[in-house]
Structure 1
Amino acid sequence: MAGLRHVYWIGGAPGAGKSTIARRMAARYGWQHYATDDTMRAHAARTTPAMAPYLHAFLAMDMDERWVRRSPDVMLETFHWFRGEAFELIVEDLLALPPTPCVVDGLRLLPDLVSPLLGAPDQAVWLLPTPDFRHAAIEGRATLGESFIHRTSDPARAARNLAERDRMFTSRLREDTARLGLRAIEVDIPMPEEDLFRQVTSFFRL
C-alpha cells in the first residue's frame, strides 16, 4: 500500500521482545512508534459483535473460561487478535499519522495481513521466541505483578494452556512467513538484546 511505505513492521509471538526492539529503533532513529498492544482496548471499543464476533465472545467470558476451561487449540483458533479482527483499525490509525518513518509492533501483525501492505519485503520481520525465551520473558513480567493468569482460579493450568497456545501460534507464524517469503528471526536464550536489535536493524537496512 503506497500510503504505508514508510512503515516498518515487527510482528511475532508474545514474549519475543517486539516492543523492546521497536522502542529502541524509534529512539535511535527518531521515528514514530505505534504499539498495537496499546490500542487493543480502544479498538475493542470501536467494534461491534458483527465486526468482531470472536472479540466480543472473548469479552463476555470470565477469566476461567478464557484461560482455564478451554483447550489450547480452541484458545488458538478463537483468539480474536490471532484471527485478524480489527486489523483494519490499525491500518486506519497508521494512515492518519504523519507520513514519516514509523515502526509498528505487536502480535496482531499477522503475515497474511501485513504482506499486501509492504512496499518491500525487507520492511517486515517476525520474532519467534523459543518456549524457554518466552517463559523467561513472561516470568520477568509476572514478578512485576503484570500476569493476568493470577486472576484465574488455577494459575498453573492457565499458564500451561497459555504457553501451549503461544507455542502453536509461533509455529503458525513460522509456517506463514515461510510460505509468504517473509523474514522471521528465532529468538532464544541467551541471545542478548543488542544482538537481536542488530539483526532486526540489519534486515531493515538501517
Structure 2
Amino acid sequence: MSFLGQHAPADLARRLAHVRWIAGGTGAGKSTLTQSLAERHDLLVYDGDRAEQGYINRCTPQQQPYLFALLRTPLEQRWTGRTADEIFQAMPSLYGETFGFVIEDLLTLPADRPVLVDDFRTLPRDVAPLLTRREQAAFLLPTPEFRRNALGTRFADPARARANWGSSDHADALAKRLARDELWDEEVRHQALELDLPVLQVDGSRSVAELADELAAMFHLRDMRGMART
C-alpha cells in the first residue's frame, strides 16, 4: 500500500494545516514568488525540484511505473520520436506518482511556522483532499507568450539545454516542451475549476510584488519584515 493509502486524508489535512502550496505551469515564476514570500513572511520552503533527486531511490516499478521508466530513458530519447501528447501522457506527475514522497517529506519538517511548497508536479486533485481551506493552494498558469519568453531565455544557455535534452535538436525539444506544458496547463485548469481551487494567470502585466501581495493575502501570511523571530 502507498504512503497516502496508509493515512486518512482528514488526519493529513490536520497535520499539514500550516502548509501552503504554489503549483501550476512551468515558466510562471513560481520559484521567484516563493522566494519573495519566504523572505517577507519567514517561511520554510519545500523546493520540489531540489527534492526530486531524493525520490529516485524511493521509487519502485510497482508504485511509480512512469517515473521508473523515465529514469531509464536517455535524455535524447525523452524528447525525440514522440509527440508532445505522448510525452505529456507519460509524465509521472499526471498520475500523482511522487506526491506521496512530498507528503512524507513535509511531515518530517518543523511545524512551528508556515511551510511553502514550490512544486510544479502537484495537481489540484492530489492536494485538494489535504486542504483545510481552499486558499491554502494556488495554481499559477502563464500565458503561452509569457512562457515562451521565459523558457526561451532559460534554455538559451547551451549547457542548461544539454542538461535537459542531451544532444537532441534543442529547438525541436523546446517546441515539444512548450506544447507539452500547454497540455499540462489545460489539465491543471480543468481540475482546479472542478475542485474550486484558485488559479492565477501570469502574463507579465503585474509585478512580482503585486502577485506576492495577492498570494500572501490568500494564504493568510503575516509580514515579518523587520521583525525578529523568537
TM-score tier after normalising by the smaller chain length: over 0.9
- Give the TM-score of the pair, scaled to structure 2: 0.85
The aligned residue for residue 83 of structure 2 is: 71
Q: Is 2:128 the partner of 1:115?
A: yes
- Per the TM alignment, residue 68 of structure 1 is displaced from its structure 2 partner at its CA by 1.9
Structure 1 letter corresponding to 2:92 = H
Q: Which of 140, 144, 157 lines up with 1:127 in the alignment?
A: 140
The aligned residue for residue 169 of structure 1 is: 184
Q: Which of 74, 79, 103 lines up with 1:91 in the alignment?
A: 103
Q: Is 2:164 the partner of 1:152?
A: no
Once the two structures are superposed, residues 90-143 of structure 1 have per-residue CA deviations (whole angstroms, 9 ceiling, x without a partner) of: 101101111121110111111001001111111110000111111222123224
Q: Which consecutive unaligned segments of at least 5 residues does structure 1 have?
A: none
Cα distance in 1, alignment partners of residues 168 and 155 from structure 2: 16
Q: Which of 130, 141, 154 lines up with 2:154 in the alignment?
A: 141
- 35-44 vs 195-204, greater mean Cα deviation: 195-204
- 192-201 vs 106-115, greater mean Cα deviation: 192-201
Whether contact under 8 Å (1:68, 1:161) holds in the other structure is no
- Per the TM alignment, residue 149 of structure 1 is displaced from its structure 2 partner at its CA by 4.8
Q: Which has the larger radius of gyration?
A: 2
- 109-118 vs 42-51, greater mean Cα deviation: 42-51
Q: Is 2:199 the partner of 1:184?
A: yes
Structure 1 letter corresponding to 2:90 = T
Cα distance in 2, alignment partners of residues 91 and 142 from structure 1: 31
Whether contact under 8 Å (2:75, 2:165) holds in the other structure is no
Cα distance in 2, alignment partners of residues 150 and 165 from structure 1: 14
Structure 2 letter corresponding to 1:90 = V
Alignment of 1:11-50 (within 5 A): 11-50=23-62
SS at 1:82 equivalent: helix
Cα distance in 1, alignment partners of residues 164 and 107 from structure 2: 35
SS at 1:92 equivalent: helix
The aligned residue for residue 197 of structure 1 is: 212
Cα distance in 2, alignment partners of residues 171 and 191 from structure 1: 22
SS at 2:101 equivalent: helix
Whether contact under 8 Å (1:152, 1:158) holds in the other structure is no
SS at 1:146 equivalent: helix
Structure 2 letter corresponding to 1:67 = W
Cα distance in 2, alignment partners of residues 153 and 122 from structure 1: 41
Q: Which consecutive unaligned segments of at least 5 residues does structure 2 have?
A: 1-12, 222-230
Cα distance in 2, alignment partners of residues 143 and 72 from structure 1: 21
Identity of aligned residues (%): 35
Cα RMSD for the two superposed structures = 1.5
Structure 1 letter corresponding to 2:135 = D
